[in-house]
C-alpha cells in the first residue's frame, strides 16, 4: 500500500526544501569565502605585525600560511575524523565552529607575535579545510529530489559558490586590511565561519548510512576511489587540470613582466578568468548539463589545455581570451566533478570520498603554484605550454565508459 502527500504536506515539503537550500548556499558562501581569503589574510597580518615592532614575524609569513594550506593534504584523515561523528549536521557545525575559533585565535596570537601557538591553531584550521569544501558539498544532493536535472542545476550553483567566494574572499581581505586593519580581516573571516556554523544547524539533512570503522578507514576509502572507474577518471582529469589551472595564478604575473606590461595586468587576467567562471556557472545553473558528466569534464580539460597555450604567443588579447575560456571550462569541470563524486561514491562513503578528494585537490594545486614559481620571466612561453600540456594529457588519458 502506498501513501501520497496531501497538498498541505507537499507545500510544507517544498517550503522545507527551499529553506534548506537557502541555508545551504548561504553557509557555502560564508565558509568558502572564509577559506578562500584565509591564506592572504595570514600573510598580510604577519607582515603588518613585523612592521609594528616584531620583525621576526615577517620571516615566518610564508611558513604560517603553509601551516594552514599543507594540512589540507591530510584530507583522508579529515574524512576519517568526520566519519566518527554519527550526525552529519553536527559534524559540519562542529567543523565550521572549530575553524572559526582556531583561525580567530591564530589572528590574535599573531598580533602579539606568539608564533608557535599561532602555527598550532592554523594547523588545526587547515586540517578542517577539506570538510569546509568537500564535506559540505557531499550533502547537497540529500536536500533535493533525486532528479538528474534538479541535481545538475544545484551542482552548477554549488560550483558557482566557489567562484564567487574566491573573488569575494581575496577582494574583501584587501579592502578590510586597508580600511580597518589586517587583524580585522582575520576576525571577519572567522566571523563568517561562525555564521556558517549557525546556518549549518538549519540544514534539513537526511539520515545517511554510516560505514563501519573498517570500511571507513583511510585505506579502504582510497581503494574505493582508485577502483571505482568514475571516481578514478574524475581524479585523473581534475588533478591533472588543477596543476595547470592553479599555475596560471603565478603565470599571469610572469606574462605581464615578460611583456613589460603594467603590474595590474596579472590581476586583470585573473579577474577575466573569474568572470568566465561566473558567466558559465550562471548559464548552467539556469540550463543544467544534460551530457555525460565525465565526458564533459574530459573535453573541458582538453579545451583548457589548448587555451593555456595561447598566452605563449605573447599577445595581450590572446592571453585575455585564454584566461576567459579557461575560467569557463573550469566551471563546467567543477560541476562535473561534484556530480561524479555523488553518483559514483557508495552512499555510506560519499562524505569521506568528497572530503578526501577535496584535500587532495588542494595538494596538487599547491604543486602547480610551486612549479609556476620556478618559471623565469624569459621562459614564460614554456610555462604556459607545460600547464596546457598537463591539462591536455589529463583529459585525453581518460577513455569512455564502454
Where are the chain's structural domains?
A: 7-200, 218-396
- Asked if pLDDT for residue 13 goes beyond 60, the answer is no
* DSSP structure class, residue 2: -
**What is the predicted pLDDT for the residue at 211?**
67
Write the pLDDT tens digit of every residue in 179-212: 898 899 999 999 999 999 999 999 888 766 666 6
Cα dihedral: 153, 158, 164, 167 (round 10): -130
Rounded distance between C-alpha atoms, residue 323 and residue 328, angstroms: 9
- Asked if pLDDT for residue 71 goes beyond 60, the answer is yes
What pTM does this model have?
Answer: 0.86
Name the grid cell of 388. Answer: 596546457
For residue 191, the tally of other CB atoms under 10 A from its CB is 14
**What is the predicted pLDDT for the residue at 8?**
47
The CATH number corresponding to 7-200 among 1.20.1250.20, 3.40.30.10, 3.30.70.20, 1.10.10.10 equals 1.20.1250.20
Do the two domains 7-200 and 218-396 of this chain adopt the same fold? yes
Are the C-beta atoms of 159 and 28 separated by less than 8 Å?
Answer: no
Mean pLDDT for the stretch of residues 301-322:
90
Rounded distance between C-alpha atoms, residue 274 and residue 362, angstroms: 18
**What is the predicted pLDDT for the residue at 9?**
43
Most confident stretch, 224-228, 257-261, 270-274: 224-228
The H-or-E segment that residue 147 falls in is: none
Rounded distance between C-alpha atoms, residue 163 and residue 335, angstroms: 11
Write the pLDDT tens digit of every residue in 33-55: 998 888 888 888 888 887 776 66
- Asked if pLDDT for residue 127 goes beyond 50, the answer is yes
CATH architecture of the domain covering 218-396: Up-down Bundle (1.20)
For all residues of the chain together, what is the average pLDDT? 86
**What is the predicted pLDDT for the residue at 248?**
87
Mean pLDDT for the stretch of residues 52-66:
73
Rounded distance between C-alpha atoms, residue 276 and residue 99, angstroms: 31
Mean pLDDT for the stretch of residues 340-348:
88
End-to-end Cα spacing for the chain: 40
Cα dihedral: 309, 314, 317, 319 (round 10): 40
Amino acid at each position: 500500500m502506498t501513501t501520497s502527500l496531501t497538498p498541505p504536506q507537499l507545500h510544507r515539503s517544498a517550503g522545507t526544501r527551499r529553506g534548506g537550500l537557502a541555508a545551504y548556499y548561504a553557509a557555502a558562501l560564508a565558509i568558502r569565502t572564509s577559506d578562500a581569503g584565509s591564506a592572504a589574510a595570514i600573510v598580510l597580518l604577519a607582515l603588518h605585525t613585523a612592521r609594528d615592532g616584531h620583525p621576526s614575524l615577517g620571516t615566518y609569513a610564508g611558513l604560517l600560511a603553509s601551516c594552514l594550506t599543507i594540512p589540507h593534504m591530510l584530507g583522508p584523515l579529515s574524512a576519517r575524523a568526520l566519519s566518527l561523528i554519527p550526525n552529519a549536521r553536527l559534524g559540519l557545525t562542529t567543523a565550521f565552529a572549530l575553524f572559526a575559533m582556531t583561525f580567530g585565535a591564530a589572528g590574535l596570537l599573531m598580533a602579539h607575535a606568539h608564533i608557535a601557538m599561532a602555527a598550532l591553531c592554523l594547523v588545526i584550521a587547515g586540517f578542517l579545510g577539506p570538510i569546509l569544501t568537500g564535506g559540505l558539498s557531499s550533502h547537497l544532493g540529500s536536500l533535493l529530489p533525486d532528479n538528474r536535472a534538479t541535481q545538475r542545476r544545484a551542482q552548477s550553483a554549488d560550483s558557482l559558490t566557489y567562484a564567487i567566494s574566491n573573488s569575494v574572499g581575496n577582494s574583501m581581505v584587501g579592502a578590510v586590511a586597508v580600511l580597518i586593519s589586517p587583524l580585522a580581516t582575520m576576525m571577519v573571516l572567522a566571523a563568517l565561519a561562525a555564521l556558517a556554523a549557525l546556518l549549518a544547524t538549519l540544514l534539513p539533512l537526511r539520515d545517511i548510512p554510516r560505514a563501519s570503522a573498517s570500511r571507513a578507514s583511510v585505506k579502504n576509502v582510497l581503494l574505493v576511489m582508485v577502483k571505482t572507474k568514475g571516481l578514478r577518471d574524475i581524479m585523473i582529469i581534475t588533478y591533472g587540470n588543477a596543476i595547470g589551472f592553479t599555475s596560471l595564478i603565478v603565470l599571469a604575473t610572469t606574462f605581464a613582466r615578460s611583456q613589460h606590461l603594467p603590474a595590474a595586468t596579472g590581476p586583470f587576467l585573473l579577474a577575466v578568468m573569474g568572470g568566465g567562471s561566473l558567466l558559465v556557472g550562471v548559464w548552467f545553473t539556469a540550463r543544467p548539463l544534460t551530457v555525460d558528466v565525465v565526458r564533459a569534464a574530459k573535453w573541458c580539460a582538453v579545451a583548457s589545455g589548448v587555451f593555456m597555450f595561447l598566452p605563449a604567443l605573447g599577445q595581450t588579447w590572446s592571453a585575455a581570451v585564454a584566461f576567459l575560456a579557461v575560467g569557463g571550462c573550469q566551471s563546467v569541470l567543477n560541476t562535473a566533478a561534484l556530480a561524479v563524486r555523488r553518483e559514483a561514491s557508495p552512499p555510506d562513503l560519499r562524505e569521506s570520498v568528497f572530503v578526501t578528494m577535496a584535500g587532495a585537490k588542494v595538494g596538487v594545486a599547491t604543486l602547480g603554484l610551486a612549479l609556476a614559481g620556478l618559471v623565469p620571466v624569459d621562459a614564460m612561453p614554456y610555462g604556459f605550454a607545460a600547464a596546457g600540456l598537463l591539462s591536455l594529457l589529463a583529459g585525453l588519458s581518460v577513455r569512455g565508459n564502454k
